[in-house]
Amino acid sequence: MKTRILRVGVLGAGGWARAAHLPGWQRDPRCEVALLCDVVRERAVDTAGQFGITRVSDDWHTAVSDPALDIIDIATPSHTHFELAMAALAAGKHVLCEKPVAYDFRDTRRAAELARSRGLLTKLGFTFRYSPGVQYAKSLIDDGFVGQPYIFNGYEQNSQWLDPQVPLRQVDHTADQSVLQTSSLEGYGAPIIDIGMWWVGAGYARTAGIMRNFVPERMVRATGRMMRMNIDDGDIHLVEYANGAMGSIQTSFVTVGNYPGVEARLYGSKGAIICRLVEEGGVAEMVRLATPDAVEFKEADIPQRFYPPGGHPRESWRSLFYANLIRDFADEILAGSGRNQGNFEDGARVQEVINAVERSHHQRGWVTLPLDR
């Protein structure tokens, strides 16, 4: 029986679309990028030429309502995500959206509810959830390797903006600079918060966190000049999970280290797992395991079944992890089984944590979740 082809409209033709989204879709033979849309038409035309895409547009309204499309992929600046996602869902499209869907968890929840009411599937750009190593680790957890989860430690950090001359992107340079604005916590914290709840198997019961602005003046891409930018470029928070496990999460883009800078550690009653997603020595990731009778952590081989077709350990994390994300979304849509991991509901839970840590920092105390109970 011939496999149905999923026709995709990609909104946004910038760097991340070129590095991850478009290669991911084109890698899966069940998918076709039928339309590329960007508000800067020249950018859409140039990128479409690089990837052999025949249709381009600079009108997102027309793109999301195109009856020929099955999926809308949103790879635009973050402040546009909510409007585009809601419009695409209202038009009956499955939606892949880069994080966050919205800055307020209640808006993300609204988008999730709309998708559920329309029978549509959604997917967040939680890229690192789909690394072969993270997926393998989760399968071990599900099989009981860790036992009862006790402690989760998560890190997402690198030195991408340690140099203040490197232009900042996707920041609101018009914001009130007397108030610390959330940046690393939202952009870098979301994926490791997601992995933590996924591995532990529970949401947050309460949290306490602090954020810091270590580099106060930076080059801003939108203005082309150095500006005072009171943003969190480093943060740490503690978490008590609803099932009694506890954890700590640290994110920053001014900590020296290579990309993507993710490390997840889970310690339990029967074993422990460390998954390190850092390109070192030409390898994108590493999984290490330990047990009570063999306490020295040893590297484990990641089975080939956790890689996308043609994937291998020395591939760039950008294309490797995103190819797995695309493959999983296509699997979910075509199977029609109702399975849908890393969706807008997961995104709402992650955004609620981010909002809770923000509140904790400003109130200087523990915050209980859910926030709207």
302-329 pLDDT, tens digit each: 999 999 999 999 999 999 999 999 999 9
In whole angstroms, give the CA distance from residue 279 to residue 191: 17
Q: What does the block give as tokens for 23?
A: 């290669």
Neighbouring CB atoms inside 10 A of 201's CB total 14
- CA–CA gap between residue 219 and residue 290 (Å, rounded): 44
CA 258-259-261 angle, to 5 degrees, is 85
Please say if the pLDDT value at position 222 is more than 60. yes
Give the whole-angstrom CA distance, residue 111 versus residue 95. Answer: 10
Distances (CA, A) of 230 to 160, 169, 182, 226, 362: 17, 14, 9, 13, 14
Mean of pLDDT values over 26-37 = 97
Domains and CATH numbers, the chain: 6-120 (3.40.50.720), 129-368 (3.30.360.10)
Confidence tier at 2 by pLDDT (50, 70, 90): low
> Alpha carbon of 152 to those of 31, 264, 329: distances in Å?
36, 7, 27
Per-residue pLDDT tens digits for 102-147: 999 999 999 999 999 999 999 999 999 999 999 999 999 999 999 9
Whole-prediction pTM: 0.95
Which DSSP string corresponds to 51-115? Answer: HT---EES-HHHHHT-TT-SEEEE-S-GGGHHHHHHHHHHTT-EEEEPSPS-SSHHHHHHHHHHH
For the chain, the residue count is 373
Dihedrals phi, psi of 261, to nearest 5 degrees? 80, 30
